[in-house]
Amino acid sequence: MTTGSVPKRFSIPIGPQHPALKEPGHFDFSVDGEVVTGATVRLGYAHRGIEKAAENQNWVQNLYLLERICGICSHIHATAYCLGVEKLADVEAPPRAQAIRVLIAELERVHSHLLWLGVTAHEAGFDTLFMYSWRDRETVMDILESLTGNRVNYSANMLGGVKFDVTDDNRKAIERGVNFLETRTRHYLNVVTTDQVFVQRTRGVGVITREQAEQLGVIGPTARASGVLRDVRVEAPYAAYRDIPVQPVIETAGDLEARFVVRLKELFESYRLIRVILEQMPPGDLNVRMPRRPKAGEAISRVEAPRGELFYFIKSNGADNPERVKVRTPTLCNMASVLVTAVGQQLADVPMILAGIDPCFSCNDRAVTISKAGDATSAVWSWQQLRQYSQAYYRRRL
């Protein structure tokens, strides 16, 4: 017996608070049975107003504010900002400082990729891999703590250089840790490519073809898993990457398995780079004198964060504070690929497809442009309009 009309499609809203990831994002999936037929996303729940805050702090203070955009790739944010401000001030950090920056960036990439491996394995229900990869990740966290003095926000950078040197003890600890991690990574690469149960969840799932990757502007390891070479370290080398070339890792399958393989193989490349930097550490100073106020002008700095290209635009008018700091994090570029690849997949695979791009929502939430439903015109609201809107909104709810 049927009453009324039976809807042909169901819409499943997920989020902002959802069990898949620890960060807020709203997804709306329309499904036909178990198969996803359409997807939309709404971001912006973790907007923190960091860009505006950066306009009210001086150049030195901003280093620590911007370092806190991301808890996982904190060092690379500070590096991008430092490179930009140094460009504005016509100052270049000494070669030893550049090498130490790259050393910490690669250690950070190791920690980020191992963290991602655990999170995505957890999404697949493979909690054994999650537990063991996170146990091994402690090795690199300990290295970073002994090298920089902190586990997460390393504060290694300062404008004009770095804060500390790499001692012989540090060097030995890093070499020991990297040797251990290399054997473990080989084991994990073997697990993710041969474990029958796990491979069923990853092989042929969430395929981004090369054409799609290029069309959607996918970046970082996600693009490299689809056979597109997008790596700032290779295409526009910065800091010590100019002297130490990076061998890019490319896979062509474009599915979730390829994303695992690319990230794990990149770990080997990072281990190699870490060893080369320790071997060829240039002698010299750790920092140069920086003017308190960089000259008026604009600078763009691009670096390769663990998730892909990180972009900074910095504008100075010669004052104590920057006039504008614009940050674009890699998650924003990769988010569109989730919506496209989710269509046609099983709903149960969607959390893994989302985790496959290594999303970082709070890094990515910058500014909100509001467009009214049914109204094609969108506008950026002024502070006054936003205040009025929020007051009216809460009054309605009361």
Query: In which region does residue 164 sit, left (phi positive, over 0), alpha (psi from -120 to 50) or beta (all else)?
Result: beta
Q: Please tell me whether residue 379 adopts helix, strand or coil conformation.
A: strand
Residue closest to 368 by CA, chosen among 26, 121, 10, 31:
26
Looking at the Cβ atoms of 203 and 326, the one nearer to other proteins is: 203
Looking at the Cβ atoms of 68 and 315, the one nearer to other proteins is: 68
Looking at the Cβ atoms of 236 and 319, the one nearer to other proteins is: 319
Question: In the bound complex, what is the minimum distance in angstroms from residue 153's beta carbon to other proteins?
Answer: 7
Point out which residues pair with 312 in neighbouring strands.
301, 327
Question: In the bound complex, what is the minimum distance in angstroms from residue 82's beta carbon to other proteins?
Answer: 13
Contact 208, 337 (CB under 8 A): yes
How many other C-beta atoms can be found within 10 angstroms of the C-beta atom of residue 391? Answer: 10
Question: In the bound complex, what is the minimum distance in angstroms from residue 398's beta carbon to other proteins?
Answer: 33
Supply 299's token pair.
Answer: 């600078």
264 Cα distance to chain centroid: 16
Question: In the bound complex, what is the minimum distance in angstroms from residue 154's beta carbon to other proteins?
Answer: 9
Question: In the bound complex, what is the minimum distance in angstroms from residue 16's beta carbon to other proteins?
Answer: 28
Looking at the Cβ atoms of 129 and 338, the one nearer to other proteins is: 129
Q: Please tell me whether residue 39 adopts helix, strand or coil conformation.
A: strand
Question: In the bound complex, what is the minimum distance in angstroms from residue 290's beta carbon to other proteins?
Answer: 11
Question: In the bound complex, what is the minimum distance in angstroms from residue 51's beta carbon to other proteins?
Answer: 16
Question: In the bound complex, what is the minimum distance in angstroms from residue 167's beta carbon to other proteins?
Answer: 9
Residues that bind other proteins (CB under 8 A): 57-58, 60-65, 128-129, 132, 135, 138, 145-150, 153, 155, 158, 163-164, 190-191, 194-199
Residue type, 276: V
Looking at the Cβ atoms of 25 and 118, the one nearer to other proteins is: 118
Residue 318 and residue 94: Cα distance in Å, rounded? 24
Residue closest to 210 by CA, chosen among 255, 162, 152, 178:
255
Residue type, 187: H
Residue 370 and residue 366: Cα distance in Å, rounded? 13
Looking at the Cβ atoms of 62 and 329, the one nearer to other proteins is: 62
Contact 96, 282 (CB under 8 A): yes
- Inter-axis angle of helices 95-123 and 168-194, to 10 degrees? 30
Residue 212: exposure state from Cβ atoms within 10 A (0-12, 13-18, ≥19): middle
Looking at the Cβ atoms of 98 and 331, the one nearer to other proteins is: 98
The tokens 């909100």 sit on which residue? 368
For residue 90, the 8-state DSSP code is T
Residue type, 301: S
Looking at the Cβ atoms of 88 and 129, the one nearer to other proteins is: 129
Residue 238 and residue 156: Cα distance in Å, rounded? 17
Residue closest to 111 by CA, chosen among 82, 77, 80, 71:
71
Looking at the Cβ atoms of 78 and 305, the one nearer to other proteins is: 78
The tokens 């430092």 sit on which residue? 82
Question: In the bound complex, what is the minimum distance in angstroms from residue 134's beta carbon to other proteins?
Answer: 9
Question: In the bound complex, what is the minimum distance in angstroms from residue 178's beta carbon to other proteins?
Answer: 18
The tokens 């690669």 sit on which residue? 106
Looking at the Cβ atoms of 90 and 142, the one nearer to other proteins is: 142
